[in-house]
Every structure is written in structure tokens, then in C-alpha cells.
Structure 1
């Protein structure tokens, strides 16, 4: 093929390979020239880090080499600037080269990714960590993330079964493979401060540079038949040379690579196996973000362990033909490893190692589901069954969480001591794994319609996985979305059985009926908006229909994804990860790079997810009549009906067992005593990464707390496992519960538990122009026939002074708005008697400090008015969290007499004293502390 000949004489004629060579030479020269200059002039300075210098550290990192010193910094920046010209020409030539094999939309997608990636490269190159550490990290992370779609675009555009494609594929795999040891040694350096770890980390960092440039260097082969000619009339043309000696050696496909076996024969064991395998899959997949969350939670910032989220990208390994053939012939292998690493990870006590184990479980889990879909491509009816059993496994995991108060009992944060069913999970998982059916077929089914779009299928499938994970993996998630406090105007947690039954009905409809895609799309848009915009029963009904929209999309995407190459599952996993990170950014904006971009933008994240799902549905054609529901589908539907009914009965039994049979009663009604506490519970993960709700309930019971405010309690997010910490505590201790502002309100959460009836509660978001949102609950309780107000409040960060000042005024006004007796259970981030403290304790609020003499406070405070204080204590945290429990005892008096007088405990009625068990060493790590006082009675 040749371009139209230009009559004017050529001034310049450049072969495409020259552009590739120029890019490679300039890029490598920039880095290695800087390394040579840096080592020659400032070796001891550039190997030094925050913890060690030479000889403990001996090799400089990339950032220290290119950004810290003159003249190496200048040498690097000059040479890397010269790389930009070849770089942009390389993007244009690639766009032209691949236009022959790709659709325009996919080609444009690749070009846009390449351009943005190049710009982000300029960001971390010219903004060094010394200039602006956050900006440098943002651009660097963005560059690495964008490398995934860029490498995917280039690799999949290269002809199959060629040395060029293999070279690019293995270079890309090596690049991302190096990230694992890179993160490990960075953690060894940053967290454990191991000498020499940073130098080893630097080896892998330089290895990434080599591989990154090498990936683009492969373009010297497939751009060699492109030529840029500049003629005398300044016109630019691209010419494909007829004589170019570029050939791609294709391997002959063997006829016996895949031998199809039965397509539409079903058996009971296969259905049970698929359901169990899906249950394990969702249990393992949902546990990874939860376990990752432990590390930034305790490090108060990005820890490096977050990169294990890339485990979701494991379907990329199916692009390697021998691996795919092996997994197809032995599907039990990956299922067994999913159980061993995923469910069995609870046996590993060290949190770091446990995260590594669960990451491998996720890797094999995603390999399993992707390969099994591809193996069923020749049977639309089998795919349909696989889709419904995939959803049923999801529902079974939701029932298990419903039974266990929103904790999946086989998660790696569970063990026997806190209610785990891990051994049962391993046994069940192994049964499902061994029963996994053998290879079906990977020979393409003869569809009359054209193949689906890889781009739209990948975008939609990734959004589908995200939507399921974010909203359907727990039966109470959409309930907390629409919760608006007391009086109750909507569903409560035990209505999770209704959510489960709705999904079961939808699953049956999705299996037996053919739903029009446009109807499904309209359902998604309308009900997604209702869920987002309304509270109470209206929002909940919208949420149920939106859940149905998600479930009904599963068979559509599974049927289309199975008709494509494994690359669609890799792409879908990438989209899934991006949406998870966006989902984190909306609430963690104060702690992540460029957090302002998605601050409080639930609408953008879930709106984007919905639109991507819908765009894929509208892009797909309905399946041809010839492969619509067959007799075999109708035969198996009667058996599925029995399973669905069994699941519905099980969910109803759980709801019945969890229904409260008696009204809550205070601990000391004869003394008309109200014991109130405040506790920052750190999202229910203890120091050793175990779920801590049960231990928390024990302490609250031992302290005989009638009312307690819980802070940092909103765990209804992907990164916290979609849990509700209030359910187990409230039901075990028979207390009323107010979840507080829901997960769609973008706070870290506050909750209220009470033995007294909650007459009314209002949720507040205090002014937070800069930092994290400050939630508050203003509730009115019926305390022995008298109305008493309780305010639970969490102030913003120490760094955001303006936020905390405005919030102090807001809470002051809330407290001042009521003339009733009141208690503030709070996290104020202030020193006693100074600064914002004087807004909380003021004439306007009417509030008094429970103990002005307690100078050793910074965060937690108890304030009150129009009540008689009879006791105050602070209880050590043990290993449950990082914050103590503060407790106050009060009685209602008609005429308030405020006094800070302290008396011996022997002068207090026994019924009004604190429990004896917390003296001395205390119990289970909890003891009275701060006040060094003798015990005043025997």
C-alpha cells in the first residue's frame, strides 16, 4: 500500500524507526547521564535518605538522582525535554499505524491515554519531590496508572502470535511485576526503617525506567514501514513503503487446542459448585480493600500497601496461551488456590503477610471467573446459568453477612474468637472447587450478530463489578444510604431480608426472561436518581429497583464478554480499580493526592458508573432468537426456584431471629442514673487487624453505658467492607441505634446507641471548607420520663484551623438551641480552657465541662448542662483502637446545681459507682487511668 505521490521535491524524509530510536536514545540518555553526573559529583548526598546514609545506603533512587542536585537535575531536564518531540511524533505514528486494525473510538482512546500520560510524565519530571512532594506523587501515580491502558492499547493493537506482541507483552508484565518488590522494599524503608532497603528499592525503581522506555522502544519494528516526508511546499504526508521488509511470523493454530464437550447439559452438582465458587469469589474479592484499609488507617496516610489492589488485574495472565490452556483444562486449580490463599489467610497472624495471602487469593479468584466465562462461550444457555449462579453466590455472601451483623464470617479479619466461620468456609470452598466442571469449550459460538465492542464491554463490565461491590455485597448498604434518623420513616437493618428477597426474585427473572436493554437502561437512570436524591421508603424502593437493574445487567455483560479475548477482563478490572479509587477519594480527599478533584462527589462516581453500565447495554444487540431461552433453561429453572426459595426462607429466619423481642432497659433505673460515654472506634479494626465489634460490645456492657457516642464509625464503604458497626453492638446489648449521616454524606461517621428511647434525631454536617466533613447527631431521648438531648460530634483535623473554628460555632449554636438537659459526647481537637474550647463551653451554649481539672485531653470531651454530674472516668483502650473511652454519670435534677467538687467513692451510693473490675490491671486490657487515686472502699 502506498500513499499518493507528491510532485514537489522532498526536503526531509524520515523513516518511522528513526523517531522510535530518537525517543529511546533521548530517554535513556536523560536518566543515565543524570546518574553518571550525580554519582560523580554528589554520591554521598544522593544516596542519603531520611534514615540512613552511606555506607548503609549505597545506590541512589531515581528521584534523588534527577531532582535533588545541580547540575544533574539540569542535565536530565534538558535531555528529557528533547525526548518530548519524538514522543509526540511516536503517539501520532502509532495512531496512524493502528488505525488499520482498530476501530476509530478505540484508537482515539489510545491516543488520548498516550497524550495525558506524556503530560503526567512532564509533571513528575519537572516538579520534583523537593519542590512539591504531593504534586510529584500525584503525577507519578497518574503516570503509572495510565501506563496500564497505554500498554494494553499498544499490545492488543499488535498482530497476534508475533515476536513483537510477545516482546511487548512480557516487557509490560515485567514492568508491573517489579511493582511488587518495589512496594515491599519501600515499606521496609519507610515503615520498618531497615538499613539498605531504600537502595534495593532503588534497583527496582531504575528497573521500571528501563522497562518503561523499552516498551516504547519496540515500536522500532512496527513503525519501520511508515515514512514522514516534508516537501518543498511544506505539506506533510505519511507514506507506507511497499518495499519495507516487515513481516510477522504467525504460528499455526492447532485444531486440537480446545476440544469442546457438552454445551447445554446441566447437573445439580455443577449448579451447587458455581454458587459456592461465587460465594468464595465475592468473600475474597470484598476482603482485599478492607484489609488494605488497615494500613493507611494505622499509618495515617498512604502506606504503599495500596498497590496490592492491582491483584484485581490478574486476568492479564490469560493472555499467555499456555497459562490459559492449563487453567481451562484444570479449573479446579485456581479455585483451590482462591480458597487456600483467600479464605485460609486468617491463619496468618501478621497483618503484612495476611495482606499478601489475600492478594494471591484475589489473583486466582479473578483468573477463575474470567477463564470460566471464556470457557462457556459456545453455550449461551450455560452462560445464562453461570450468570444466575454468580449472582446467587453473591446473595449467599450477603445472607452470611446478614446473619453475622454485616461481617462476612470467612473474611481474613474474622477468626473463631470474634465469630468467624473460617474452617467451615475452607471446607465449603474446597468442595465447590473440586466440583468445578471440566473444560467446556473455547471455540467461538456462531453468532449471527457482530462481535461486541471490547471498549464498551470492558467499561460496562468494570462498572458492573464496582456497582455490585459498592451496593449489593451487604443487605444494609442501601438502607444506610436512605437512613435519616428518628422518628423512623424508612427501612431498618432487619429489612435487609427484603433487599435479599428482591435480588432473588430479580435473579429468577433475569434467568427466565429476556429484558429489553433500553428498558433496563431507563430503569437504571431513574432509580439511581431516586436512590441518590430521596430518603426513607421512597429512596429505598428506588434502591431496590436500581439493584435489580444491576443484577439484570449481569447476563448481558457475561454473554458479551465471553465472546471476546481475555483482554476485556483485564480492561474491566482496570475500570473496576479506577472506580474503587474514585469511591475512596470522595471521602478521603483530605488524605490523598489531588483529593479536591472528587471531594464529596458521590454523584460523579456513581453517575459515571451508571452511565458506563448503560452505554454498554445500549451498545449491545439483543441476542438472536436462535439462542434465546431453550428447553434446557426451562428445565433447570424449576430447580433454581427451589434454591431461590431456600435462600429467601433463610434470609427471613435470620431477620426473625434478629428482631428485638423486648424494649431496652437502662442499667440503674432505681437511681435514675444515666451513664454516657464517648469512644473513637477506628472503624472496627483492632491493632492486629481483627474485627472488634464483639470486644467493643463487651466493654460497653461492662461499663454499664446507657448512652454511647461512637466516632469514626461509618464502614459502609468498599474500603471498610460495607459493614455497619452499630448492628452487632446494638442487638447484642439491646439498644436503640442511630447510624448517623449515611455513607453518601461523605463523613467518617458518628453513631449513637441508647438504652433510652430516641424520640427524635437530626443529622448535621458542620462547616468544613477545607478539610474532612464534621458529622453530628442531635438526638432527644426519653430518660425516665424527661426529655434529655444528646449531641454526638466529631470535629475536623488539627491542621484545618478555620474548619475547627467554624465547626465550634456550629455546635455551639446547636447546643444553645435547646433548653432541655443536654450532654455533648465529642471529639473536639482542642486543649482544655483555650481556643475553640471557649466556644463549646460558653454562655451561648450553656454547657459545662465534666471535669475542668482534667488537663490531659486533646480530642475527647464530655460536656453537659441542666444535669447533676455524679461521676467521671477514663478507661484505657486496650488493643481495640487507639483512643480511650471517656464516661460520665448523671442524674436529672429540676434545679441545676453545677459543682466541680469531688468526693471519695465511699461517699457515693453503690448503685452509682463505676464497676470494680476496672481497678488495678483492669479486665481484657481496659482499666481506669489518668487519675492516680486510691480505692476508697473495700
Structure 2
């Protein structure tokens, strides 16, 4: 009890350290009391998970301990409730300790602390059993808030070496633990390794220790507080020197010190956000047009003439005319607003009109951004922030695609019915342009004093072409490079989720590095490292190839600032105009390596992705050579800019940090559950289908994933093979049609041979675990490559092989003959029952059909009497077939869905007979939904009803 003073200053007093001690004791008590009670009462239940139990798993996870069982859940919740009071007091005292005049950071950290406390209550009192989604939302929010809370506390720590040392240790242990935590979680969830969840649990409990321990260090800081409430040492009056102050004094004049050494202004963070959104719109338009162009040769089966729309990107060449260049620079707001018409393209139902509107928009936005960069050539910090907005806008577009399963929600192929956000996206875009391009908000002038050296404008333009192509071909989706290194099951490398977030992080880190250290990023050493990354990505697979991909992503983003800075030193037509022109050349090269069978001279570059990568890096090398002269001259002679101007970059970094945290959250929410269940498990029925999906773009040029999902789910397919499914190229938008369907319907997914294998793609989705899968490229000496997936699935405890195969085209009979012999031997060599889901390009009972169905292959046709086939076939061996149906595709694609039913565990009968549907058990029947007129244009056709066998 404190003394009572006559003036009433003190009524009760105690040392502030007891707030921290109370918080620490009750927080630990909450978790460890639940652990002790849980182990004592429900040990075998809380160590059990969806795959294994005791003795394979012998230590419980945090969630299993505190989540659902009485009384351990009650122990935990009671102690956590008691902890909430000291927790709020701890946050309040930390704010009092660190608050200073004219400083917003302590307020922000305090706000994060309160938010973090509330979300802790959320995941504590709403368990995964109560509401799985809200439990995850609260948990993710808590984990996200931990990063700014930790960094904020480190920055604001009083200059107490002991406390700062312990905080650094605890923070390092906390974030370092996340790596093995995620590793063992993947080992458990994806690979189903016995004991992996126990190891995961140890790291999960370690996170609790380090998290609470980090806040316990406030004991050392609160010793100077006596809660009267009265400040006995004057430490709350803004006179305290913090760790951040010491660092900023030490780093004064360096990039970090200049960036974060000033106050925080909400108007400027809004400006940065709007700038980044404008960059996002640019990348939306730049990646959206090729998808529209692809639609026309796809449906014309050859060059259509609409391909010329790609040339819209070369619009900056018109800035060679002085009057146009002057008009563009003086009317940037109008030019950027005009480019937004692409976001209205979804209103046009006719594909050609949608293409023309988007092409106009792309031409306008390329000219607008070129004029924007050129207009800022005399203002170093403003040019830098425009480049950052452009680069972070790219990352924002990648995050948006990551959230929407590789579709950009503002693309012209999207609308409200298939997941588009067009209206709200357009509204935000208009506001962003109006905010970012206010009158008198740009500058002109010479970048260097007279006599400053310039590199070659031609080489600068070549460098920009290489930069643009590298970004659009490989960095506009987080899963593109992952598909390059994917080689099938078992998983031996990265997967699109969660590792797409790692790709996004590498891109962001590269951009920041290029901004802070342009001379290093622009060096030949960095170029050499980037080239090594490109080589690893091109020639290696699994983790080795992915490490190369991360190096490549880092370098390309780091190269953007110095290449663009070099380009603005010259006429925009001779750099950006030339660059976009050469970008079109690289884009066509990129298409020809796989579409060689459809274009004049195509065989000259057949399957030469390595040539394309070499060309790209040589182009970037030309840009490095030019920038070495231009930017070194600028570095020597340009006047230093004020710290107030350099502070602008910090706001863009805040936006980037928010996007990175969002990417991590998306990765967590989309993490595969791998707990999939077949539709008729009790009957041991397998429903398998084959569908040529024509790249997931429907007959009216809309993204078709949701319509595909609906019909596949209603058909109750357990295994489905997709053909013509590889969209990981510029002209297809760098997307993956399997992701949304697999996640929404619950399938394991094998992407099949990647885009660097030069095929049109094949994919396998399965409700059953994929034990092993091998990718094949069948003999194709003349025509296009024929991809195949040979997978072994665990169907109700039995190993069954499934092959998904796309034969070569009709014009190349020798290719198709060689492919039929290869596949026949492959199927015949399998000792297991096998299902072939295929596109064979042959008539029933004729030609190559008799190679696929032969003594060598040991395969049987699911229905030899079905005479109306030319492409799709389902063959099998060693299984009991029970049903076969053909389902119309409506306007989703140009090919029907063929479906077969098989029973596992029953011998293949020697003599089969057709039977009427009423004799078939209900669990073995096809859905009645598709009888008659069916639903949404999908119905049983050719036979008007399914066929069944006994």
C-alpha cells in the first residue's frame, strides 16, 4: 500500500513490473494447465489426428489440447480471461512508456496491441469445432498482428541493452520457429508422415513460449513505473531515447535512416496506396489482353488476324512526336482515366468488341505510364516512387490472383457470375487516378546537368524489353515458376499453395533491394547471380529449380528500378517504344516454342525455351550495360535529395508489407486439407471422367472454372482427367484451371507436364491419394508433343493406375502411330488394374484404336458399341465396369464429358451383360439430374441415358 499524501497525489501504488509478471504467469498457466489436464484425462484422444494416433503420434498440438474437451478447455478459457486484464494494462503502459510528441508509431503499435488482444479472445472462445472459418480468421489476424507488434516493440524499446537483447532473441526464436513448424505441418498434411504432427506440436508449443516470453521482457522496462498512476522518472514525457532513435542516429544519411526517420502522415499513405493501385490496373490490362487474343486462334484453329491487337503495347513510339509527348505529359490524369475503359470491357458480350476495347485501353495505359515515368525524369524521389508503384502494383496483381486461384478479378474475361470484382475495381481505379494525378503533381526538367553521360538508348530499350518479358512471362502469377519445376507425386518440391507466398516475398524483397541499393542491383555481379537463377529454373526441377526461380524473381524485380531509371534519360519512343516492340517479338517467340505446328517457320524454334531464356537474359544484360553509364553519371553528379523526399518511399514499403502479410494469410486459408472423400465410399465405386477443357475459356470468352466446378460436382466424379489444360503462358494469362476446382471440390491435383515441356497440357484431379505420378512426353517427330500422366492412386486400399493422355493431331499420322505403340507398351507393363482417360484421335475399331485395345496393352474399351467417338475414349483393365455415360458440355468448351463407373474389390467378370438402370444399386447409378433436358445445358446425350453392366 502506498502512502497517502495531503495533496491526494497517491492513493495506491505498486511497481509496473507486476503487470508484466501477472500477464506472463496467467498466460502460461492457461496453456500449461490445459496441457496437464488434457494429458491426464484424454491423452490418447488429444494425440490422435486425422492420419495417426498413439504410438505414432505421442504429443498433442496446442489446438487439440485447448480446443474441444472438458475440462481442459475450461481451464484454458478461465486463465485466458484473467490474462486479458493484465494484457490490456501491458499495452497501455507500453504506450505510456513510448509515447512522444509528434510521433504516430507508438499509437500504431498500441492499436495493434489492442487488436491482437481482441483477436486472441476470438480464436480462444470460438474454437474450430464451433466455427472453423471464424476460428481461422481470428487466428490468422492474431499471427499477422504479431509481426508489426514485434517490430514496433523492438523499434520503440528503451535503450536498455539487456531488454533489447532478450527481445531480439525471443523475436528471432519466434519467427525462426515458423520455418520448421510449416515444414512439419506439410510433412503431416501433404506427405502424411507418421510422427510429423508430434514434431509440429513441439514447435507449436515453442511459439507459445516465445510469444509470451517476448511480452514478459516488459518486466525490465516497467520497473521504472510506479502505478499511482504517476510518472516517477519522467520517462513518459517524450524525453526517452528509444532504440529507433539510436539506430536512426547511427544510420543517418543511409537509406534506412532516411526512409523511416520522419513522421507518419495518413494523406501520404493514401497517395502511396492509390499509386500502387494504378500500377495494379496497368498489370491487369497488360496481362488481360493476351488472354482475349488467345481466344480467336483457339476457336479458329489457326491464325485469325486478331493477333495484331498485341501490337497495342507499342503505343509509346508515338511519343516521338513532340506535340504528342507534350500533350501526354500535361494530361496524365486524362490519359490514365481513359485507360480504365478496359475495366468496363466486361459489359461487352461480343468477344471481338471486348478485344477492341481492351486493346485501346492497353495502348493508352502503356503510353500513360511511359509519359508518367518520363515526366518525373527531373525529380529523383518522385520517379523512384512511380517505379515502386509500378512494381508493387505488379505484386498486388499477383496477390489478387493468388487470392482468386490464378484469375485476376478485374480481367475482361471475368464478371460477377464467375468471380469478377469489376464494378468495385473500376470505382477504386477512378478514385486512385484522381488522387494520384492531381494538377501540378508532376515535374519536368533535365535529369542530369549538361554534359552528363548517357548510355545507348537502343540498349536501354532492349533491356526494358527483356525486363517486361521476364515479368509478364514468369512473375505475373505466383504459381507459374512452381509449375516449371513440378514433376508429380510424391511431392518433392514446392506446391502452388502455400509456396506461392514465398515467390511473392522474393519479388517484394527484390524490388526493395533494387530501390535501396541500385548500384549493387545494377552491377554485373548481380546480373551473373540472376543468370544463374534463370539457368537453375530452366534446367532443374524440384527444390533446386525453385531456388533458382526465387533468385530469378528477386533479381528481375531488383533490376526494374535501375533499368527504368536509365530509360527515362532518353526519348521515350527510343526506349519504351522500342522496348515494347521487342517485347512483342519475345511474346511471339514464347508462343512459337509450343505452337510451332500452327505457324510458318515454327519448327525453327520448336521446344527452345532455353533459347528464349538466354535471349531474355541477354536483353536484360544490354540494359545493364546501358544503365552502367547512365546511372553512374547520375550518381556522381545529381544533387542529394532532402530526407523529407526520401521519406516518401517508406509509405510504399508499408503498402508492400501489407500485401506480403495478405499473401501469407491467403496461403494459410488456401492450404490444402488433404482429407478428401470419394462420393460413394460405402459402395467402393469410382466415377472417372475425361474432358478436353479448351484452357478453361468458354465459347463466349468468359473464364469457365466455376461452371466446370458445378457440372463436375453434380456428376459426382472421383477422378477426372483434363486435356488442353496448361494455361501457364502469357497468351493464357499465366493461370491454372485446376486450382479453384481442386480446392472447392476437394481433389488432389497433378498439374501434369509443365509449360517448359512445350505441350498444351494434361492434368489429373483425384479424390483418392496420388501415391505416385510420372509425366511422359510421347514420340512426336513432326507434330505437337503428346503429354501423358501415369499415376498410381490408393482407391479404397488398393493400388490402381490411371493414365491421362492427349494424342497428337490428325495431320500427323506417323506421330499418332508412334504414340499409340508407346502408350500401349506403357499400359501393358503395369501390373496393376488401370484406367485410361484419353484423347486418341481415331475411330472406334479402326486404325490405332487396335493398338490401344490389344493384347500388348491388355486394355478394353468401356463401350465398344459406342460408334460416335473420334477423340475421347475411356479404356480399362483389371476392373469391373458398371456404367458409362456421355454428358453435353453446353457452351463451356467444344468437347463433351465422358464418364465411367468402376467397382473396386470385385473381380472383373468374364462375361458381362447390359442391364436396365432399375437393376443397378442406387450407389452405382449416375445422377438423375442430367436426364431429359438436364440442367444448365448439361444432359446425357448420344444414348440419351447412361449404360450399365452386370
Q: Does 2:590 match 1:583?
A: yes
| Higher alpha-carbon deviation: 776-785 or 600-609 | 600-609
Relative to 1, partners in 2 of residues 1:896 and 1:548: Cα closer, same or farther, differing over 3 Å? Answer: same
Equivalent position SS for 1:920: coil
1:392 corresponds in structure 2 to 392
Equivalent position SS for 2:373: helix
1:843 corresponds in structure 2 to 855
Name which of 518, 534, 540 aligns with 2:524. 518
Contact 2:885–2:945 at 8 Å: present in 1 too? Answer: no
2:508 corresponds in structure 1 to 504
CA distance in 1 between counterparts of 2:772 and 2:336 reads: 50
Q: Does 2:858 match 1:857?
A: no
2:407 corresponds in structure 1 to 407
Equivalent position SS for 2:932: coil
Contact 1:866–1:893 at 8 Å: present in 2 too? Answer: no
Contact 2:381–2:648 at 8 Å: present in 1 too? Answer: no
1:319 corresponds in structure 2 to 320
Structure 1 position 799, deviation (Å): 0.7
Structure 1 position 313, deviation (Å): 1.0
CA distance in 1 between counterparts of 2:323 and 2:637 reads: 34
1:251 corresponds in structure 2 to none
Contact 1:521–1:618 at 8 Å: present in 2 too? Answer: no
Structure 1 position 317, deviation (Å): 2.1
Equivalent position SS for 1:273: helix
- Per-residue CA distance 1:28-87 (angstroms, 9 max, x = gap): xxxxxxxxxxxxxxxxxxxxxxxxxxxxxxxxxxxxxxxxxxxxxxxxxxxxxxxxxxxx
CA distance in 2 between counterparts of 1:533 and 1:673 reads: 41
Q: Does 2:464 match 1:464?
A: no
Name which of 624, 627, 640 aligns with 2:635. 624
Relative to 1, partners in 2 of residues 1:704 and 1:381: Cα closer, same or farther, differing over 3 Å? Answer: same
Name which of 467, 480, 485 aligns with 1:482. 485
CA distance in 2 between counterparts of 1:464 and 1:505 reads: 17
Relative to 1, partners in 2 of residues 1:771 and 1:633: Cα closer, same or farther, differing over 3 Å? Answer: farther
Structure 1 position 894, deviation (Å): 5.5
Contact 1:491–1:537 at 8 Å: present in 2 too? Answer: yes
Relative to 1, partners in 2 of residues 1:815 and 1:675: Cα closer, same or farther, differing over 3 Å? Answer: same
CA distance in 2 between counterparts of 1:548 and 1:626 reads: 29
Q: Mapping of 1:28-67 within 5 angstroms?
A: none
Equivalent position SS for 2:369: helix
Structure 1 position 934, deviation (Å): 9.8
- Per-residue CA distance 1:106-151 (angstroms, 9 max, x = gap): xxxxxxxxxxxxxxxxxxxxxxxxxxxxxxxxxxxxxxxxxxxxxx
Structure 1 position 555, deviation (Å): 0.8
Q: Does 2:572 match 1:566?
A: yes
Equivalent position SS for 2:735: coil
CA distance in 2 between counterparts of 1:923 and 1:808 reads: 36
CA distance in 1 between counterparts of 2:636 and 2:947 reads: 83
2:365 corresponds in structure 1 to 365
2:550 corresponds in structure 1 to 544
1:446 corresponds in structure 2 to 448
Q: Does 2:689 match 1:677?
A: yes
Structure 1 position 403, deviation (Å): 0.5
Equivalent position SS for 1:880: coil
CA distance in 1 between counterparts of 2:452 and 2:836 reads: 65
Relative to 1, partners in 2 of residues 1:270 and 1:317: Cα closer, same or farther, differing over 3 Å? Answer: farther
Q: Mapping of 1:85-104 within 5 angstroms?
A: none
2:352 corresponds in structure 1 to 352
| Unaligned ranges ≥5, structure 2 | 1-264
CA distance in 1 between counterparts of 2:591 and 2:445 reads: 40
Q: Does 2:549 match 1:556?
A: no
Q: Does 2:717 match 1:714?
A: no
Q: Mapping of 1:298-337 within 5 angstroms?
A: 298-337=299-338
- Per-residue CA distance 1:370-416 (angstroms, 9 max, x = gap): 00111011122222222222110000000110000000000000000
Structure 1 position 900, deviation (Å): 4.8
Relative to 1, partners in 2 of residues 1:626 and 1:915: Cα closer, same or farther, differing over 3 Å? Answer: same
CA distance in 1 between counterparts of 2:732 and 2:856 reads: 38
Q: Does 2:279 match 1:278?
A: yes
Equivalent position SS for 2:838: strand
CA distance in 2 between counterparts of 1:442 and 1:682 reads: 49
CA distance in 2 between counterparts of 1:291 and 1:641 reads: 33
Q: Does 2:339 match 1:338?
A: yes
Contact 2:880–2:906 at 8 Å: present in 1 too? Answer: no
2:176 corresponds in structure 1 to none
CA distance in 2 between counterparts of 1:933 and 1:668 reads: 20
- Per-residue CA distance 1:727-775 (angstroms, 9 max, x = gap): 0000000100000000000000000000000000000000000000000
CA distance in 2 between counterparts of 1:367 and 1:934 reads: 57
Relative to 1, partners in 2 of residues 1:790 and 1:271: Cα closer, same or farther, differing over 3 Å? Answer: same
2:234 corresponds in structure 1 to none
1:7 corresponds in structure 2 to none
1:77 corresponds in structure 2 to none
Relative to 1, partners in 2 of residues 1:898 and 1:288: Cα closer, same or farther, differing over 3 Å? Answer: farther
| Unaligned ranges ≥5, structure 1 | 1-264
Equivalent position SS for 1:487: coil
Contact 2:268–2:651 at 8 Å: present in 1 too? Answer: no
1:194 corresponds in structure 2 to none
CA distance in 2 between counterparts of 1:762 and 1:446 reads: 58
- Per-residue CA distance 1:771-795 (angstroms, 9 max, x = gap): 0000000000000000000000000
TM-score for the superposition, normalised by structure 2 = 0.69
CA distance in 2 between counterparts of 1:480 and 1:449 reads: 45
Equivalent position SS for 2:360: helix
Q: Mapping of 1:741-890 within 5 angstroms?
A: 741-890=753-902
Structure 1 position 814, deviation (Å): 1.1
Q: Does 2:655 match 1:643?
A: yes
Q: Mapping of 1:205-244 within 5 angstroms?
A: none
| Higher alpha-carbon deviation: 526-535 or 309-318 | 309-318
CA distance in 2 between counterparts of 1:662 and 1:617 reads: 46
CA distance in 2 between counterparts of 1:580 and 1:268 reads: 36
1:127 corresponds in structure 2 to none
Contact 1:793–1:827 at 8 Å: present in 2 too? Answer: yes
CA distance in 2 between counterparts of 1:739 and 1:353 reads: 33
Name which of 726, 729, 735 aligns with 1:723. 735
Structure 1 position 633, deviation (Å): 5.7
TM-score for the superposition, normalised by structure 1 = 0.70
Relative to 1, partners in 2 of residues 1:615 and 1:320: Cα closer, same or farther, differing over 3 Å? Answer: closer
| Higher alpha-carbon deviation: 893-902 or 387-396 | 893-902
Contact 1:275–1:389 at 8 Å: present in 2 too? Answer: yes
Contact 2:473–2:729 at 8 Å: present in 1 too? Answer: yes
Contact 1:679–1:711 at 8 Å: present in 2 too? Answer: yes
Contact 1:377–1:563 at 8 Å: present in 2 too? Answer: yes
Structure 1 position 432, deviation (Å): 1.6
Structure 1 position 626, deviation (Å): 4.5
CA distance in 2 between counterparts of 1:333 and 1:778 reads: 55
1:21 corresponds in structure 2 to none
1:189 corresponds in structure 2 to none
Contact 1:922–1:928 at 8 Å: present in 2 too? Answer: yes
Q: RMSD value over aligned CA atoms?
A: 1.7
Contact 2:410–2:422 at 8 Å: present in 1 too? Answer: yes
Equivalent position SS for 1:858: coil
Relative to 1, partners in 2 of residues 1:933 and 1:491: Cα closer, same or farther, differing over 3 Å? Answer: closer
CA distance in 2 between counterparts of 1:557 and 1:497 reads: 26
CA distance in 1 between counterparts of 2:915 and 2:642 reads: 82
Q: Flag as ranges the 4+ runs of structure 1 deviating above 6 A.
A: none
